[in-house]
Structure 1
Amino acid sequence: MNRTELSRLVVFATVAETGNFRAAADRLGIAPSAVSHAVSTLEEGLGVRLLARTTRATRPTEEGARLIARIATPLSELAEALREAATPSTTPAGPLRITLPRLAADEIVMPRLPAFSAAFPLIELDLRCSDRFEDLVASGFDAGIRLGESLEADMIAVRASGPRRSVIVGAPGYFARHPKPAHPRDLAAHNCIRRRFDSGRIYRWELEKDGRRLNVDVGGSLILPQQELILQAARGGVGLGFLFGDMVAEDIAAGRLIAVLEDWCAPFDGFYIYYPSRRQMRPALRAFVDFFRSAPGAPEG
């Protein structure tokens, strides 16, 4: 592959990322006509259409998406190599893309973000909050934060919090109308507030007692996307919520919520920072991992 072909691939990847020829031209600092010519020449050389163009948007075709999947990581590594060449190798600097759920952002990163930014002013931290488990390499992330039980075996993982524990709670008003469940099978008779993840999957309540594990497909009249909303609904007496213990500790202590089936709510692994195995970790990523690993004061739920 010659340098001209490489430049055309860069132009194509930029158009695919921005979804717009003019936006790609602005980012690359070239004329829109040059962007259009580069993409057209690439398509003619390959004999396939890479981008589907409409008056509203420009999206990769099936062939274009396959090509993006193959070149995204090499192009990212080239850009990273150029950034490292321009910055002393010992200085943490440059963009750092992290995927994490909102709860991890609230509890682990945001409380210590001012100190991190002050210590590493040259790092451009890009946090993307989502419950979806991302393929770091394919999605262009440097690292992620997730619960330890959901990590892939080929990831390097370092602990960022203590163990967690979820509890089943309901408001006193709810239990005035419904008997408290004495066994997980009793949940079938209750209005359970369910949670739908960004992927579309509805969470099945994971319970455990004396080594016996149950994944309970509960039913109910309400489905919500976030624990914070489930907490509000549970406080209002809508139904039972299955929530992290630290989120409801004050409500339980104040009598606003009542915990049930506590003997079935066993602790589980907390949050971990995870990233792909690399021979040479970027200084920016190393700084992030070292700063947020085993964060002091992390709740144990």
Structure 2
Amino acid sequence: MYAEAKTQLQTLRDLLRFAVSRFNDAGLFFGHGSASAYDEAVYLILHTLHLPLDQLDPFLDARLTTAEREQVLNIIERRTVEKLPAAYLTKEAWLGDFNFYVDERVIIPRSFIAELLRDQLTPWIEEPDDIHSALDLCTGSGCLAILLAHAFPNAAIDAADISTEALSVAQKNVRNYNLEDRINIIQSNLFAGLSGQRYDLVISNPPYVSAASMAGLPGEYRHEPHNALASGEDGLEATRVILENAAKYLNDRGLLIVEIGHNRETLERAFPHTPFTWIETSAGDEFVFLLKRNQLPR
């Protein structure tokens, strides 16, 4: 099929149609930035040809060179056969207007906390300039730590993760944004390596996938680091540790913000006396909670 495509497909429009057909036929899963086979095909083709990602129409009828055609068909084939997420093929991922280097050492950035940071966590933080210390726990690629630095310009930020491989990626992204003087990369199993630290703000997008959900994940997710996804039988293993220890690492008026996937009901059953504030996101109010220091379980 791909040998025939090399000789018969001529234009970007031809290759786009071919990619959408192959992606649909392969039953690919789109949960790492694109919403459909068409969106993913457009992104992969434009990226491979070094064209602007927001400009497709002017190039649709452009004829490709032999080398360009082979490059595009190669990435289409890898996406289809290996079921590699697009971000691992292009080595980049986006959160809003920010792009980050990623590879198989880190989970692909996707977090509702990112959209909350665009508004500097309004209304829960009234004066962003008063945030002087912040922690991104389970930082992975460092993406949320970098967004923290942009949202709170007076804050010194710690970015912690258990994985030294993930932290190598985070360090690369921190360098790319010239934030080495503001973001401190720390190897730590949750709070274990942060003894004596206190923060005005702690955010975390920890592992939160339950054992049952892990067993049913599409192939694309199986390329991501297992320990960045799995969190025990009910998906709350990491979140429990965070809730039980966060008060020791927050200043008196400090805030804790955690993303937990689809685990709201399970979490509220496990901590029935904890007054969670559920923050509205683009997908609803069941994915991210906020707690003040004095509301944390004792």
- The TM-score with structure 2 as length reference comes to 0.25
Which structure would you say has the larger RCO, counting Cα contacts within 8 Å and 6 or more residues apart?
1
Question: Which structure shows the higher strand fraction?
Answer: 1
Bigger-Rg structure (1/2): 1
TM-score, length-scaled by structure 1? 0.25
